[in-house]
A = this chain, B = another copy of it.
Amino acid sequence: MHAVDLQQLTAEIRDFARARDWERYHTPKNLVMAMSVEMAELVEHFQWLTPEEAQAIASDPARRVPVEEEMADVLIYMLRLADVLGVDVEAAIADKMAKNARKYPPPAR
């Protein structure tokens, strides 16, 4: 896993939607709904598992691939939403990490 060009990836996702005439459906409201549904499909893989069974997915490729697909679905919609709203996700993550560091200072040693 090396540097990812999010701008390039976002453009690919936009072109994919445009080529299928899906842009008219990709309003922010619809995209957050669709993304929350994909998130639930990710949750579904874990709902009946014990904590141990859930962790075991990490070392079982046959069960991990469907989980990876749901993770990717969420991320693809997230980049699409960022594109539609004009959000720089890299900056948003950096800002939130800094805010979290202020909100939850590390314990003194």
**A residues adjacent to B (C-beta < 8 A):** 1-7, 9-10, 12-13, 16, 19-21, 25, 27-30, 32-37, 39-51, 54-55, 57-59, 64, 67-69, 71-76, 78, 81-82, 84-93, 95-97, 99-101, 104, 106-107
What's the minimum C-beta distance from A47 to chain B, rounded to whole angstroms?
A: 4
By secondary structure, the A interface counts as helix
With contacts A4-B6, A32-B42 taken as known, whether A101 is within 8 angstroms of B71 at the C-beta atoms is: no
Contact B4 A69 (CB under 8 A): no
Copies of this polypeptide in the complex: 4
Contact B85 A57 (CB under 8 A): yes
Other-chain residue from B9, B42, B54, B84 in contact with A27 (beta carbon distance below 8 A): B54
